[in-house]
Structure 1
Amino acid sequence: MFGFIAVAAVPALFFMALELVLKWVGPGKSFAYFNTIEIDGEDYFQDNPAFIEQFYPASLDITPLENTFVAEPDDDVLRIFVLGGSAARGFPNPAHGFSRQLRTLLSEALPGRQIEVVNTAMTAINSHVVYAAARSFPQDIADFAIVLMGNNEVIGPYGPGTFNQEFFSNIELIRALQALKRSNFGQTFLNAVDNLKSSDHKQDLEWKGMQMFTNETVPYEDPRLETVYAHYRRNLADIVDTLQEKGAHVILSTVPVNLRHSAPFASSEPQQLTEQQIESFQALTAAAAGRAAQQDWQGAVSHYFEALELTPRHADTLFELALAQEYSGDYDAAANHYIGALDYDSLRFRADSRINGIIRDLASRVTTTQLTFVDNDLRFKKSSEPFSPGWDLFYEHVHYNFAGDYLLARAFTRAILARLGVQPNDLLSQVEVASRVGYPSNMTIKVLNRMLDMVQSPPFTGQTNQEALVALIKGKMNDVEAELGTVSEQIARRESMLRSGGGDWRIRYEMAYLYEHVGNRQAMYQQLNQLYEEYPFHHDSLVMTAKMLHQDEQYRRQIPYLQQALLHARGDELVIAQLTGWLGLAYFKIGDDVRAERALRSVPSQYPDQVHYALQAYATLIRYAEDAGRMERVVDHAADAEGYAEKAERMGLAQAYPPFYRKMVQIMRLAGDDAAVQKWQRRSLENRPN
């Protein structure tokens, strides 16, 4: 017993005491998914951008969707959470994804209830991350929780195909490591290690999408895949249990993926083939392709089968075989080989049949009434019959188009209504939902443009049907542009829909931009005011209102919007520094010099890394002091600006901000300090790159 105390209990007590001391000295960063903020004396939950930093460096800018909602449960509010990756998030445009469509369908079906859909899904995350999110949710936070995940199990954190962490086979080790990262001791230790490094390439990473994973192939034979499936099964079961313990009814869904129109990203070549066998395989696939070009589908099928006798797990060959079988009318055989191509694709960006099998198996074993199983994989297959699911429901490999998102939203709506004991009757049609959420919009064109760039880069360039995918998205862009019509036509459609009682605050945000575009300021403000009444937490609309009021010299009205926008800045120092500078300027405009100086001086003192806004704050302080004839304050502000600049040079901030010396020369010239002007001009020359 004494030996156990010496070896285990004493160190454990030491680290517990150390953790408490560190928490008392200065609590570390919170990695909970939600922070609690206070608005007008009431507690609200708000998404925490720092949550993901326990898995990915902040430089990747993987952030949650904006969500702010009352912490106190309300029987009049039906709240649904969505958990998963980018497909559940609604990529490429969450404003038209299934979560917003779900809210629209439920609002129509339950006119007496307020519907809140809180989408917690994030890009590039897998079940390890979703489990951490679910554990951090407060008790009784949601009535329903939809779990739709499985595409990123290999390429997400701790998977064998990730670029960011090491692969671990022990899930308890993974969870212990994450707990250490969240602890004050762990944060202190990791910060100390980081400070010893001149640069960490992982911390300097920038998000470049799927091409970051292009070299991370994991063939079917890789023994690490079995660990992936085991981790997924364990995490999924624990996610369901955790959500249920927190009071939510869980809706568990299989994961539909594009089978028919997503050629494999990579095929693994068997190591054991001889050179002669490789030549035979290449000759057979070439002969098959030649037969297919002549529309001799049976001949193509025959040659592909011969090729697969040599390498039965070659993903591209299975995909081409499925195409040939489909063209010959053998849809069932084609469907099976499309699934084979999915399972043997060695760049694993899609949930394969094993993942969906695990979901079905777990759902069949759960006996609690707190779970509803929705087989959306099967639903998509039935919707696409006689073909397999493809571009009729997807943009590319996994992300749903509007029709695919509608299919999901409709299925989840029926599941929720059935649980509530409500007869679903006639749900809104896809066309009606599109009208109410404003699909398509100008944003649709923007996201399709971004998607076009994406599919013209790796790993899409490795797909055999990449040219057809590019053509498809270009065609969609042309269709959307034709459907949108003029700005006046867009306004008329949305006005008609709002008059009929449809739409939501996001439609009003779109309308405000459209009215601003045509120069109708009165209508723009009307939409923004109504938006604020319906949802006063939307950061971008608060900023837009403040910006418009500044342009119209309505500074006193501008200030409350800036203050509210700061409440929803979510700790983003760049945004806070910018908004605080605007707030200081607004205070100057209304003659409140005390508040103006306090706000502006806080920018360089509290956010010294935001060099642009720090220097801008000093310039504003000097200009207004000079205008007021307070020359002693001009001197003080100029001295403070020089003190800040000297420190910025020592910290390396000046080198990271190219206009630094030019700005300092301008500030000193504004202060009328010729000697300082010359000093900073000399430094500019001294620090000019060779």
Structure 2
Amino acid sequence: MSVSTTPKSKRFSFYVIAILLPFILLALFEISLRVVGYGKNIPLFIPAQGFAGYMQPNPNIIHRYFADPSIAPSVSPDTVLFKQQKPKDSFRIVVQGGSTAAGFPYGRWASLQGMLDQRFKLLYPNKNIEVINTAMAAVNTYTLLDFVEEIIEIQPDLILIYSGHNEYVGIMGIGSAFAAKGGYAATLIYLKLKSFKVYQWVESMYFKLFTSLNPMSDNKRSLMSKVAKEKNIGLNSALYQAGVEQFQNNLSLILAEYQTAKIPVMLSTLTSNEQDQTPFSTIGTTDWPQFINQQLPITSLTSLEAQVKNTPSAANYYQLGLKQFALNQFDLAQQSFQLAKDYDQLRFRAPSEFNHIIKKLSKEYHATLVDTDAFFRADSTHGIISNQHMLEHLHPNIRGYFLLAEAFVTALQTHNFIDEKPEKITTEQAWKHAPVSQVDQAYGQFKIDHLTSDYPFTTQVKKITPPTPNSFFNQKLVDRINGKDWLTIHTELMAHYQQTNNLSQASLIAGLLSDTLTNNHAAAYKAGQLYFKQKQLLQARFYYRKAIALAPEKINYQLNLAHCYFLLNEFELSESLLKNVLILDPDNTKAPYFLQHVQQAKRATNTLDPNTLDPNNDKNKG
């Protein structure tokens, strides 16, 4: 009697099918969901509406990380347009980071992107430099890591990173109300799976069945008041160490991916307010105004030192720092203030350890270190970061944002990332052209007042009264607060400044409008004219050239640029442009007259009357 047995090959096939079947079913489900259009596709970059051939950062990119967009914080990258097909002559820079890199509270123009754009116009007028900002509030290195592949696809020549303050309480941070479930490894898996429709379906079902709390439901509260979940994270605690590991591991992965793609990175140290920001975890438990205002006897220094030794805490170190500062012990005060920040258990500022990690990883991955913290200290009284450069705990004022950009500019020039000799523009010359309008400055201050009126800056929410629209300026500010669009407000401002002969502000805003209306030649020409009237010839040259690049058929644009070249003693360029005018318009009556004087200037050593070549003067005709 024989026993029937299943051949080994059949048993093997059965096991293979059994193993593969769930994956096959998931694949079929995935395909079905895609066919019916289920779920969301939220790319980092999208086509810019109304600007053919241009892209921009996706204003809804934050929705990528939330099953329901209604629970997402209202944050987004600023609208910055760049060409879909990278020009061969361009040098493309991409900025990554959180709210400081994004320019909060002033917006795009105070950001790294805005400040650098303004510097590059003066430093590298002949170089096409694109700066694309993907930074936004409330994000940390998880989001930066998630953006890397899409950033690589747009072929950047350089990456700038300023990130770390949101590592604990930013989205997916270890101490955030928006923390991912399951720890670090699970969060990395989530970043890989979130684009699959099956995952989105499961996430949506879970959200509907088990999630009822919306941490963003109270629109009157500030974002900072909503995000802190694990309110107390002690120095060297398990949660603290998890945040350190999260920052170090994510930053390593980011740098490794760019290194593999052979894209250089500039990585910045972090800076924050030390002297004038009381530790958040002590607010409501210590009467800081009373302590700061009273003059303690010198013998109390010993008592404070003993307190710190026996009980190292944010409150004790901050008190000690205040006393040491009052006694002119500035180096010791700086150390105490830094330790007060590190011991602050409500972690809205990066601990000092993060700067050590940044310096270490910059060496390990051959990234260029930008020591922004050192830059701020060099410009600060006694080398201590304070309200001199900060609005509150870590967002710089206009001078601070200028210094942040200047730190990157200095490192960029030191390491010769741009293959062109820069113009000789001093830091203080550049500072005079900081690209933030008066309305944007006032609006930024209003946002800071709103931010600091709530937790964690105070235990009781304070009511902020909007300004009274009792002047043209205040009316524009109120319009901005009420949500009127930036473009309309600043177009009205430019007209007002022209009428009141405030050409300094008029030209500044005209330049910002041209930068916003990327492909509008009339806006560029207007900015050139206003800068020219102020005899700001470098800025005028930049915008005249932009106008001509957009509308090369405009003869008057070329005549004005030829005049600008002449006044800058760039006679060859002026002559070439005038000859081009005569090719385009042989009957032009002004060009031959101008050309004669330009050629004379090339030969002569004397200076001609600048008005001789003014194309807007009707007397200058052949």
TM-score (norm 2): 0.68
Query: Any idea what the Cα deviations from partners look like across 1:579-602, whole Å, max 9, x if unmatched?
Result: xxxxxxxxxxxxxxxxxxxxxxxx
Q: Which residue of the partner structure matches residue 492 of structure 2?
A: 513
Task: Give the number of aligned pairs.
Answer: 485
The CA deviation at 1:260 is 1.6
1:32 pairs, out of 10, 24, 43, with: 43
**1:381–1:457: structure 2 CA closer, same or farther, 3 Å change rule?**
same
Does structure 2 retain, via aligned residues, the 8 Å contact 1:153–1:228?
A: yes
Query: Any idea what the Cα deviations from partners look like across 1:89-136, whole Å, max 9, x if unmatched?
Result: 111112223321111111211111123221111111111111112233
Q: Which residue of the partner structure matches residue 184 of structure 1?
A: 197
Q: Which residue of the partner structure matches residue 500 of structure 1?
A: none
| Separation of aligned partners in 2, 1:55 and 1:258 | 30
Does structure 2 retain, via aligned residues, the 8 Å contact 1:350–1:398?
A: yes
**1:16–1:219: structure 2 CA closer, same or farther, 3 Å change rule?**
same
Does structure 2 retain, via aligned residues, the 8 Å contact 1:257–1:398?
A: yes
Q: Which residue of the partner structure matches residue 46 of structure 1?
A: 56
The reply to whether residue 17 of structure 1 matches residue 48 of structure 2 is: no
| Separation of aligned partners in 1, 2:204 and 2:158 | 38
The reply to whether residue 443 of structure 1 matches residue 457 of structure 2 is: no
Letter in 2 for 1:351: A
The CA deviation at 1:230 is 1.1
| Separation of aligned partners in 2, 1:222 and 1:262 | 23
2:146 pairs, out of 101, 115, 132, with: 132
The reply to whether residue 455 of structure 1 matches residue 480 of structure 2 is: no
| Separation of aligned partners in 2, 1:532 and 1:455 | 31
The reply to whether residue 351 of structure 1 matches residue 350 of structure 2 is: yes
| Separation of aligned partners in 2, 1:91 and 1:109 | 25
For the residue of structure 2 that corresponds to 1:155, the secondary structure is coil
| Separation of aligned partners in 2, 1:189 and 1:514 | 50
Q: Which residue of the partner structure matches residue 150 of structure 1?
A: 164
| Separation of aligned partners in 2, 1:316 and 1:324 | 12
| Separation of aligned partners in 2, 1:459 and 1:508 | 33
| Separation of aligned partners in 1, 2:418 and 2:126 | 13
Does structure 2 retain, via aligned residues, the 8 Å contact 1:148–1:252?
A: yes
| Separation of aligned partners in 1, 2:228 and 2:209 | 31
| Separation of aligned partners in 1, 2:384 and 2:161 | 23
Q: Which residue of the partner structure matches residue 232 of structure 2?
A: 217
| Separation of aligned partners in 1, 2:291 and 2:204 | 60
The reply to whether residue 256 of structure 1 matches residue 271 of structure 2 is: yes
2:132 pairs, out of 118, 121, 128, with: 118
The CA deviation at 1:421 is 4.6
| Separation of aligned partners in 2, 1:419 and 1:526 | 30
The CA deviation at 1:534 is 5.9
The CA deviation at 1:295 is 4.7
Q: Which residue of the partner structure matches residue 643 of structure 1?
A: none
2:403 pairs, out of 397, 400, 407, with: 407
Q: Which residue of the partner structure matches residue 172 of structure 1?
A: 185
| Separation of aligned partners in 2, 1:28 and 1:507 | 33
For the residue of structure 1 that corresponds to 2:328, the secondary structure is coil
Q: Which residue of the partner structure matches residue 419 of structure 1?
A: 417
**1:70–1:309: structure 2 CA closer, same or farther, 3 Å change rule?**
same
Does structure 2 retain, via aligned residues, the 8 Å contact 1:54–1:178?
A: no
The equivalences for 1:130-529 within 5 A come to: 130-166=144-180, 168-169=182-183, 171-194=184-207, 201-202=214-215, 204=217, 206=219, 208-213=222-227, 216-246=231-261, 248-267=263-282, 293-296=294-297, 298-312=298-312, 314-367=313-366, 371-384=367-380, 386-417=382-413, 418-422=416-420, 424=422, 426-430=424-428, 432-435=430-433, 437=435, 439-461=436-458, 512-514=491-493
Q: Which residue of the partner structure matches residue 121 of structure 2?
A: 107
For the residue of structure 1 that corresponds to 2:88, the secondary structure is coil
Identify unmatched segments of 5+ residues in structure 1.
Answer: 270-281, 491-505, 543-690
| Separation of aligned partners in 2, 1:405 and 1:194 | 40
**1:303–1:538: structure 2 CA closer, same or farther, 3 Å change rule?**
farther
**1:176–1:203: structure 2 CA closer, same or farther, 3 Å change rule?**
farther
TM-score (norm 1): 0.62
Query: Any idea what the Cα deviations from partners look like across 1:403-425, whole Å, max 9, x if unmatched?
Result: 11111111211222322255556
| Separation of aligned partners in 1, 2:396 and 2:291 | 33
For the residue of structure 2 that corresponds to 1:302, the secondary structure is helix
Q: Which residue of the partner structure matches residue 608 of structure 1?
A: none
**1:38–1:64: structure 2 CA closer, same or farther, 3 Å change rule?**
closer
The CA deviation at 1:527 is 12
Query: What RMSD over aligned residues (CA atoms) do the two structures have, in Å?
Result: 4.2
Does structure 1 retain, via aligned residues, the 8 Å contact 2:222–2:451?
A: no
Q: Percent identity?
A: 23
The CA deviation at 1:77 is 2.3
1:76 pairs, out of 89, 94, 113, with: 89
Moved more, 173-182 or 12-21: 12-21
| Separation of aligned partners in 2, 1:531 and 1:323 | 42
Looking at secondary structure, tell me which structure has more helix per residue: 1
| Separation of aligned partners in 1, 2:15 and 2:317 | 58
**1:80–1:528: structure 2 CA closer, same or farther, 3 Å change rule?**
same
| Separation of aligned partners in 2, 1:402 and 1:291 | 27
Q: Which residue of the partner structure matches residue 80 of structure 2?
A: 67
The CA deviation at 1:455 is 1.4
| Separation of aligned partners in 1, 2:69 and 2:292 | 51
Letter in 2 for 1:308: V
Does structure 1 retain, via aligned residues, the 8 Å contact 2:490–2:513?
A: no
**1:4–1:427: structure 2 CA closer, same or farther, 3 Å change rule?**
farther
| Separation of aligned partners in 1, 2:508 and 2:400 | 30
Does structure 2 retain, via aligned residues, the 8 Å contact 1:93–1:447?
A: yes
Query: Any idea what the Cα deviations from partners look like across 1:116-167, whole Å, max 9, x if unmatched?
Result: 2211111111111111122332524322111000001110123232112345
For the residue of structure 1 that corresponds to 2:267, the secondary structure is strand
